[in-house]
Amino acid sequence: MIIPKGFVPQQDNGLIMGGLFADQSTSFQLMQQKMTQFVEILRQDPAVESVSGSTGGGQTNTCFIFATLRPLSERNVSAEQVMASWREKLSEVSVAGYWLLAWPEISIGAHWSQFQYILRGDDVEEISYWATKVEAALREVPVLTDVNLDQQQHGLETDLIIDRRTAARLGLTVSQIDSTLYDAFGQGQVSTIYAARNQYHVVMEVAPEFWQSPEILSQIYVSTDGGPVSGTQATQPLDDTVFTKAPAQHSGSKTATTTPIAGDRARN
């Protein structure tokens, strides 16, 4: 009865995964910088053999880190000791929270954590209120580390309201406005480049420097007489246009992004 035990024992198989959580209003570009900073910190650890990270996906304010440690005979420290040293360095990265976990041989549950505490109820506001209380209480427990709450409901959003009367007076439809906005910010495929042994999708989007503020909407113009491109228009690039093409492969297709480098090219 007094022998220490657990459901699934922790193992040191040389693999560690972790994640960073920034403020929910954090952009993809800023989160990418934080991830790069975290990866560089881990690469300086002599116990680390390789490390990689990824961000984006469903949430722009999170990133995931995957690290491979050197064999035990070369590092002379356990995975737990390695993660403890990382926690001391994570203060250099300005984030809202983080978690680290030695990769388990057997994983059970939907989250990468040793322990989970789930709140259930019929009132969303009540759950939100008590979830923050429980998180704060668990952070005070000395035997717990990397306590995080998976609830995220404070992200920024912008409501764009169309003046339908003015749009109708100018001969514009809601569909035209929606298509223009999607072409600018939704990365819609507009064409295909056919090479000798492969093909590439052409994705139109606003240049990255114009993603930082809603004020860019004042520079987006909707065409009333535009139509689908045809003939040489589909294959001849515009002036001041840069093509970034993925390396050719024999199978599948890669994405080629057409990015205008002039400000007025962002107008449609």
Nearest to 265 by CA among 206, 182, 179, 212: 206
Q: Comparing 101 with 9, which gets the higher pLDDT?
A: 101
pLDDT at 194: 92
15-116: what fold? Alpha-Beta Plaits (3.30.70)
Nearest to 45 by CA among 22, 74, 21: 74
pLDDT at 246: 44
Average pLDDT, the chain: 75
Q: Cβ(26)–Cβ(49) under 8 Å?
A: no
Q: Kindly compute the dihedral angle of the four CA atoms of residues 139, 141, 146, 152, in this order, to the nearest 10 degrees.
A: -30
Nearest to 107 by CA among 235, 187, 10: 10
pLDDT at 110: 56
Amino acid 11 reads Q
What residues are paired with 242 via a beta bridge? 259
Strands (E), the chain: 15-21, 48-56, 59-69, 97-102, 188-194, 199-204, 241-245, 254-260
pLDDT at 267: 37
d(CA 267, CA 260): 10
Least trusted range by pLDDT, from 54-63, 103-112, 234-243: 234-243
- Extract the tokens encoding 98: 């983080």
254 has a pLDDT exceeding 60: no
d(CA 20, CA 100): 9
What is the average per-residue pLDDT within 203-219?
A: 80
Domain ranges of the chain: 15-116, 118-152, 164-266
pLDDT at 42: 87
- Extract the tokens encoding 119: 């709140």
Q: Cβ(43)–Cβ(15) under 8 Å?
A: no
Helices (H), 140-203: 164-169, 174-185
d(CA 106, CA 16): 14
Judged by DSSP in three states, 126 sits in: helix
What is the average per-residue pLDDT within 223-245?
A: 53
Amino acid 200 reads Y
When the candidates are 3.40.50.720, 3.30.1300.30, 3.30.2090.10, 3.30.465.10, the CATH number that belongs to 164-266 is 3.30.2090.10
- Extract the tokens encoding 152: 């995220």
Instruction: Supply the DSSP symbol for 68.
Output: E
